[in-house]
Structure 1
Amino acid sequence: MANKALIVVDYSNDFVADNGNLTCGKPAQKLEPYIVSRIEAYNNQKQPIFIMMDLHFEDNHLHPESKLFPPHNIIGTPGRELYGKVNDIYQKIQFSDHVHFLDKTRYDSFCGTPLDLMLRERHIDLIEIVGVCTDICVLHTAITAYNLGYNLFISSQGVASFNETGHTWALEHFKNSLGAYVEYQS
């Protein structure tokens, strides 16, 4: 039996809410029940949950994303808070030993974070990834996870993007190039 962990990528107000600074909008909002159900399932089994959250600072023109995207997930702003019911459940379980909130400053959840070390300490060999954006932060996280030797599970119910073409391409890439188990749901 695999030791598994859930990674929730960037499910913040700025990426999900209608008024978010870099929102995926309705496609991301539709993920909410699925992500909540996955958090509840992992929490009930006391399995590791990693909330990976994009972190930016006001007027940081040195960050490479500043040339590509509008300011988003600025520290101390409501845009950086978890969206909706995902935030509600996180508030209830955040002090549990198996729940971890990690800041990230790049698309890849592993880059510059202790994520790999924490997964290895827990003997994790299978990671389930949910969140946004399928073809940006989820994709870069999945590629590094693959390169580090983790098995991957990604459900189409758990990821979204503001670019439908990129979303579809990334799901196929997870399956065909990373060997991920991809569950397709309509």
Structure 2
Amino acid sequence: MDKIVLQKGDTLIVVDVQNDFLPGGSLAVTQGDEVVPILNRYIAAFAARGLPVYATRDWHPPDHCSFKAQEGPWPPHCVAETNGARFARDLELPAGATIVSKATEPGRDAYSGFEGTRLDQSLREKNIKRVFVGGLATDYCVLNTVRDACKLGYDVFLLSDAIRAVNVNHDDGLKAEAEMVRLGAQPIALASLGT
């Protein structure tokens, strides 16, 4: 495969690498911590070229509709201002990274970084054409962020070495990856990036 050379108009979107999604968190993704060192290398590559980095996060109110107490599917997680909602300690986001908080209202959920946020507007203001997406979890927030990015007309690269799945069903992650490719996302790994 040809090397992908990062260029003006590219951005990195790091999806929901938060403590509650890491081992020991309230909604832990199996081996979710494995994405952190890989994402750090992508972050360094983008930062070295002066390209923008975005980081999405769940930033829920305590009574969020996705929580089981409100008849949602999940245990409480990523409640705003708690340790569980903080980014992974070892995630090396640059000082200039743009933080995108989602699902901030009690009655509205959002798996996609584009849903109910200014992400699309911000990308267009920066003339972004290509988005590189990795993080947690493959079968939920990564899938939905990629789905919306494709729908909105961005060229999408899926960082297949920097995603991990919840896998409520054992093959949900694989199905999500296949769906993202079907929608037009191109799976890549660190070795694909040219210098």
Find out whether 1:69 has 2:67 as its counterpart.
no
In structure 2, what is the Cα distance between the partners aligned to 1:58 and 1:142?
27
* SS of match in other structure, 1:58: coil
Give the alignment partner of residue 14 of structure 1, picking from 7, 10, 20: 20
Q: What is the CA RMSD across the aligned residues, in angstroms?
A: 1.6
The residue number in structure 2 matching 1:101 is 99
* SS of match in other structure, 2:139: helix
In structure 1, what is the Cα distance between the partners aligned to 2:137 and 2:67?
14
In structure 2, what is the Cα distance between the partners aligned to 1:144 and 1:178?
10
CA deviations on 1:46-94 (whole Å, 9 max, x unpaired) are 111111001111133xx245411000000111111111310xx22xx32
What amino acid is aligned across from residue 14 of structure 2 in structure 1? Answer: V
In structure 1, what is the Cα distance between the partners aligned to 2:183 and 2:115?
18
Do the aligned partners of 2:139 and 2:166 also contact (CA within 8 Å) in 1? Answer: no
Richer in helix (by share):
1
Do the aligned partners of 1:2 and 1:126 also contact (CA within 8 Å) in 2? Answer: no
Number of residues of Structure 1 aligned to a counterpart in Structure 2: 173
When the two structures are superposed, what TM-score results if normalisation uses the length of structure 2?
0.83
The residue number in structure 2 matching 1:58 is 62
Q: Which runs of 4+ in 1 moved over 3 A?
A: none
What amino acid is aligned across from residue 107 of structure 1 in structure 2? Answer: Y
Structure 2's unaligned 5+ residue stretches are 1-6, 104-109, 191-195
When the two structures are superposed, what TM-score results if normalisation uses the length of structure 1?
0.87
What amino acid is aligned across from residue 98 of structure 2 in structure 1? Answer: H
* SS of match in other structure, 1:36: helix
What amino acid is aligned across from residue 41 of structure 2 in structure 1? Answer: S
In structure 1, what is the Cα distance between the partners aligned to 2:143 and 2:100?
18
In structure 2, what is the Cα distance between the partners aligned to 1:49 and 1:146?
18
